[in-house]
Structure 1
Amino acid sequence: MPRFSIVIPCFNAAETLAETLDSLLAQGFTNWEALCVDDGSCDGTQGVIETYQNRDPRIRLLRNPGKGPSTARNFGALACARGDILCFCDADDVWTPDKLGQVDDLFRLDDVEGVYGKVGFFRTIPGDGHTRSTVKPAALTIADMLSENPVCTLSNLSLRKPTFEAIGGFDPVFVHNEDLDLLVRLLGAGAVIRGMDRLLVWYRCSPDGLSSDLREMERSRRAVLERARDYGVQGDAKAEAAYLRYLARRSLRLKSSRLQALGLTLRGIGHSPSGFFTPVHRGAATAAASVVALVLPPKLRTTLFS
């Protein structure tokens, strides 16, 4: 039986999926299976998976019986996975070669239900950017989820399979923020999720891969806040300001209205100046970029801020 089951939802990912799968084949820890759940792709995604499946039997092509990434992840993780530990990976992200080995070590050394690490952000080649996520020194709390998500991406999350099964997996109602909802429910159920101060994932920053529906993201976050209240945790002005800063930074990378990022910035500062400008370098950079973006051509703006 594999130690890890890696669930990869795939939709029209032919251009990036091979790089993702190559990063799995490069893992020093080899006891894994990869479940590539195709979500109705109409490009060459299935062909890419079949090519890798023929090369390595650990890689399997599955077809989503439903629709959407949450349903695809649930199908792979709940119906098909054979591993003790579930890892999620998006079809355009890349893992460092020691990711599974590092995660396995922490699961064996510590009584945890979930593990995450640092994320590096890249545009073309892993390492071409200098931005890295940070890791909380203590186990995650629900309050940590209500501002900027420390896990950053589902490609950075590994869970014991029984823990995931116990909460019923992802809620397919969520089109956005399904990762936040999952983490809030996991933490509300008592799961211990710890971070590793190691770079484990490269996250591809592409304007074309981002959701432009920031209003829908705000709406789904309100549903997450309601979920958190079910566990007795209230969001506050600082958390709201930090989340609006996150949306402003996201807006800068989109082909959206020049005023959108500035509007989100001003709203964030209005909720809580200290929340928006903590840490100072992130808040100040976001505010400055929101102003500079007003005079930049759209193509230069999306390229510069991606």
Structure 2
Amino acid sequence: MNGSAPRVGLVSVVMPARNAEPTLAAQLEALRRQTYPDQWELVVVENGSSDGTPALLRSWQRRMPQLRVVDVAGACGVNGARNIGCRCARGEFVLCCDADDVVAPGWMAALVDALRTSPAVGGALERRLLNTRVALAARPPKEADALLDTFGFLPYPAGANCGFHKELWARLGGFDESYRYGGDDVEFFWRAQLAGYRLAFSPDAVVHYRLRGDAPAIARQLYRYGRSHPKLYRDFAGHGMPASRPGDAARAWCRMLAHLPDLAGRADGRAAWLAQLSLRAGRMAGSVGHRRWYL
């Protein structure tokens, strides 16, 4: 961080947590070890957990004075939880992370430094540290040298590693809570850019990103992601989001047919095949549900 830059006021970290007991302590410890030297708070939105997440958070409040817990009566979706956290946040800058990842020591300092000159920023996702070979086969690592650009339209940060001025969040009316799973971060940052806000990328703001590790969880996640893509197309086609190309979908289905023998092979091959099937099936279901074809 540039030592000559003026100090920022309070920084707020917003983190939804739902049934996060197995991974939450590692993330809290990583946040506690941040190198950022100035004042910050952590707002954890306890999003209707049925495991030991609430008790774990209470125990951490005794040793982490920056931690504030906001209880939600029932699950409200990731964007609902983010909006609750942002409303409760007292900082002028808001950083977002997830309860199942691990932020690197300089994560907060790097995002804050970028937010001095940009209204919104995303960091790098590192996928190897926390994940098995099977998980990586389902979602192969990408170069963490730029914002994500999955749809050939506008770049965007992942909700697991981003920051923005709270004023920007307020002017946009918050996150769209109709995006409950998949597309939730994409929609917000596309809307920000279309409203004239510039996004930055901070390669030093690293989050060690945890993928789903077993076949049923991989399938559920990729199916939900796929269902959200036609919804994004419905909402942003008028702004220039390109349609999906039928040839790409046809080639994807042909590859899956050609690789059917992978289902009888190694676990990583099965995971990669299942991930593709789930994504494409989700897109088909989303196309029907949202009445916009995006295959």
TM-score (norm 2): 0.74
Instruction: Specify the SS of the correspondent of 2:177.
Output: coil
Cα distance change of structure 1 residues 217 and 56 upon mapping to structure 2, 3 Å threshold: closer
C-alpha distance 115-38 of structure 1, shift in aligned 2 (>3 A):
same
Of 61, 76, 83 in structure 1, the residue corresponding to residue 91 of structure 2 is 83
- Conserved? CA contact 1:123–1:206, under 8 Å: no
| Aligned counterparts of 2:185 and 2:166: Cα–Cα separation in 1 | 16
Equivalent residue for 2:13, pick from 2, 6, 10: 6
Shift in Å, 1:238: 6.3
- Residue type of the partner of 2:70? L
User: Which of 251, 262, 269 is residue 293 of structure 1 equivalent to?
Assistant: 262
Instruction: State the distance in 2 between where 1:289 and 1:133 align.
Output: 28
Shift of 1:240: 9.3
Q: What do the CA deviations read for 1:113-155 (whole angstroms, capped 9, x no partner)?
A: 11112110146479x989354333xxx79xx462598656312
What is the aligned counterpart of 1:19 among 12, 26, 29?
Answer: 26
Is residue 120 from structure 1 mapped to residue 126 from structure 2 by the alignment?
Answer: yes
Residue 195 (structure 1) shift: 0.9
Aligned mates of 2:199, 2:244 — CA distance in 1: 25
Aligned pairs for 1:1-306 within 5 A: 3-30=10-37, 31-65=39-73, 67-78=76-87, 80-108=88-116, 110=117, 112-122=118-128, 124=130, 131-136=141-146, 144=149, 146-147=151-152, 151=156, 153-175=158-180, 176-198=182-204, 200-208=206-214, 210=218, 212=220, 214-230=222-238, 232-237=239-244, 241=248, 265-266=252-253, 293-296=262-265, 301-302=270-271
Contact 1:2–1:82 under 8 Å retained in 2: no
Q: Which runs of 4+ in 1 moved over 6 A?
A: 303-306
What TM-score, normalized to structure 1?
A: 0.71
Q: What residue ranges of structure 1 are gaps of 5+ in the alignment? A: 245-262, 270-286
CA contact (8 A) 1:170 1:182 kept: yes
Instruction: Provide, for residues 144-190 of structure 1, a one-character-per-residue CA deviation record: whole Å limited to 9, x for no partner.
Output: 46259865631211111100111111111112211111122111111
> How many residues were matched structurally?
258
Offset at residue 266 of structure 1 (A): 3.2
Structure-2 residue corresponding to 1:249? none
Q: Give the fraction of aligned pairs with identical amino acids, expressed as a percent.
A: 26
User: Superposition RMSD on alpha carbons, in Å?
Assistant: 3.6
Residues of 1 paired with 2:219 and 2:151: CA distance?
19
Quick one: distance in 2 between partners of 1:40 and 1:102? 31
Distance 1:239 1:187, change over 3 A: farther
Amino acid at match of 2:29: D
Partners of 2:174 and 2:102 in 1: CA distance:
23
Bigger relative contact order, structure 1 or 2 (CA pairs below 8 A, ≥6 apart): 2
